[in-house]
Amino acid sequence: MLIVLLLATIRKAIRGNSDDELELIKRIKQRESKALEELYDLYKRLLFGIIVSIVKNREEAEDTLQETFVNIWNKADSFNEKRGNVYSWIVTLARNNAIDRIRSKEDKTQQKQSANICEPLFSLAADKHDPLKTTIFSNRAELVNKALLEIPQEQREVIKIAYYRGMTQSEIANYLNIPLELVKARSQLGMMKLRHILGEIISTDG
Amino acid sequence: MADGKSHNEKFEELCAGYVLHSLDAEGCRKFEQMLEHASEEEQKLFESLASAANQLAFTVEPAKPTDSVKKRLIAEITSQKEKQEIESVSDKMGASESGVSETEDTEFNWQAFAISVSFALLIVSLSLVFYAFNLRSQVSHQKTQIVQLKNELQKKEELLSMLGSRDVDMVIMSGMEVNPNGYGKIIWDPKKQQALLQVSNLPPTPKDKNYQLWIINDNKPVSAGVFATNDKGVNFFKIDKMVQANEQQSANAFAITLERKGGAQQPTGDMYLMGNMKSSSE
């Protein structure tokens, strides 16, 4: 069952909106809580991984995950399939919630102390008994990691800090002890290159 | 642009920061303003950059949250649904109630208010009138009672005064054949020429008749006045000026007869009471 759900998630991430996924959102808009449960089962592992990588605390990550699905429930009406796929919308909501949470804490000191640039190693220790799932995720992760490696190191560094740690550009400038304008430039150049490298995936991703 | 960057360069720069969620509040606001007026090409750039950023999620290790998260989520959603349903029902009820109250508030019926006040004032006025009338009647009745009591008191005082006088004579009268149970007394003050007559058990006086008191002296009756008794049968009468005072001093008997209304020159009717001066003094 898990494999099927995971495959569905990846397929949707790659191919864009599927009828099933859109149907779930439609049912959520109609206040069908069962549809939200189904969506949760589909995305919980992926989103929880993203959130944990940002908030660095499982308990808070679980609260954030719950908050994210409550947002999905309450903001379902604002989802417009013409402007993006369900996957992108949900991932963005989860990241925004996680980043808002760490920023609201304003615990900058703690961030600096533990801020080895966290390049998330794609170790699927928890899923080692699911070889197929591991392979699929590995392939996708490998593709994105490969794309990242093609980006100059200083640009990659800024993107990773921003994405995985949720720092603002000003915080990154302070953290790396470089001018803000340089952070902005590296961020811009890095993302434009990543977009270019992942072009094929992005064009099918919607 | 003030920093020497073209619009496109600025859009790209802000867009990259925006999709990574690394702009500060001011940067976010600026980019969202630009996005509102973005060209189709800029829109596509934004969407593709956002999509590229989202691909980074696949490099993160998936992790399994505890089952309690789902339970809490379902509990919260259920709670929200129930709350919304309650609010929806109360809104509907509130709307219908407010519809009524708004009408009442905005269209205050002054005419109805005036009629209500007038009616209330009328009721109060009528109540006051009734109360005043009742009070007046009560006062009038009490005044009559006071007058009656005063008269009675005066009579009693006169009786006591006459009884306290040194030189009074008393004649006891007994019932005659037509009314054997009747009796009476005459207390007579010869000096003041005043007398008190008390009669008991005399039949009530017919409307066209009067009892008449006679002073008999040497078998010659002289009228001392007329009176009428009431249903109670006990009556006091004061005679302020006894007629023929000189003769009365030598009167030797008193009698009471029933005569025509206003009295007669000579006794003609039945005799009801009679008392002898000599016998009473004996």
A175 touches chain B (CB under 8 A): no
pLDDT tens for each residue of A63-95:
999 999 999 999 898 888 776 778 888 888 898
Q: Give chain B's end-to-end CA distance (angstroms, integer).
A: 154
Residues A161-179: what's their mean pLDDT?
91
Share the mean pLDDT of chain A.
Answer: 77
Q: Residues B21, A192: contact at Cβ < 8 Å?
A: no
Q: What 3-state class would DSSP assign to A189?
A: helix
Distance in angstroms (rounded) separating the CA atoms of residues B229 and A193 = 140
B73 touches chain A (CB under 8 A): yes
Specify the DSSP element, H or E, that contains B276. strand B271-276
Q: Where are the domains of chain A?
A: 1-106, 120-206
State the pLDDT at residue A73. Answer: 93
Measured between beta carbons, which residues in chain B are less than 8 angstroms from residue A17? none
Interface with A, mutate which of B41, B56, B67, B78 (most A CBs under 10 A): B56
Tokens standing for B67? 């089952």
State the pLDDT at residue B107. Answer: 57
State the pLDDT at residue A164. Answer: 84
Distance in angstroms (rounded) separating the CA atoms of residues A30 and A134 = 35
B72 touches chain A (CB under 8 A): yes
Confidence of residue A137 (pLDDT cuts 50, 70, 90): low
B75 touches chain A (CB under 8 A): no
Report the alpha-carbon angle A86-A92-A95, nearest 5: 140
A 21-40 residues inside an 8 A Cβ radius of B: 31, 33, 36-37, 40
State the pLDDT at residue A186. Answer: 95
CATH 1.10.1660.10 fits A120-206, yes or no: no
Distance in angstroms (rounded) separating the CA atoms of residues A49 and A57 = 11
CB contact under 8 A, A185 and B13: yes
- Indicate whether B165 pLDDT > 90: no
Q: Residues B139, B131: contact at Cβ < 8 Å?
A: no
Complex ipTM, two decimals? 0.73
A 75-94 residues inside an 8 A Cβ radius of B: 83-84, 87-88, 91-92
CB contact under 8 A, B24 and A145: no
Instruction: Give exposure, B128-161, as e/b (b: 16+ Cβ within 10 Å).
Output: eeeeeeeeeeeeeeeeeeeeeeeeeeeeeeeeee
pTM of the predicted model as reported, rounded to 2 decimal places: 0.51
Nearest to B19 among A126, A191, A198 (CB): A191
CB contact under 8 A, B81 and A33: yes
Confidence of residue B186 (pLDDT cuts 50, 70, 90): confident
Confidence of residue A62 (pLDDT cuts 50, 70, 90): very high
CB contact under 8 A, B53 and A163: yes
B34 touches chain A (CB under 8 A): no
Among A9-13, A174-178, B109-113, B228-232, top mean pLDDT goes to A174-178
DSSP string, A76-119: GGG--GGG--HHHHHHHHHHHHHHHHHHHHT-HHHHHHT-S---
CB contact under 8 A, A140 and B58: yes
Confidence of residue A135 (pLDDT cuts 50, 70, 90): low
Q: Residues B187, B155: contact at Cβ < 8 Å?
A: no
B77 touches chain A (CB under 8 A): yes
**By CB neighbour count within 10 A (0-12 exposed, 13-18 middle, 19+ buried), where does A107 fall?**
exposed
- Residue A118: how many CB atoms within 10 A of its CB? 15
DSSP bridge partners of B254: B215, B275
Q: Residues B210, B263: contact at Cβ < 8 Å?
A: yes
A56 touches chain B (CB under 8 A): no
Give the fold, CATH level 3, of A1-106: Rna Polymerase Sigma Factor; Chain: A (1.10.1740)
A5 touches chain B (CB under 8 A): no
Q: Residues B204, B251: contact at Cβ < 8 Å?
A: no
Residue of B nearest to A198 (CA): B52
Instruction: Give exposure, A11-43, as e/b (b: 16+ Cβ within 10 Å).
Output: ebbbebbeeebeebbebbeeeebebbbbbbebb
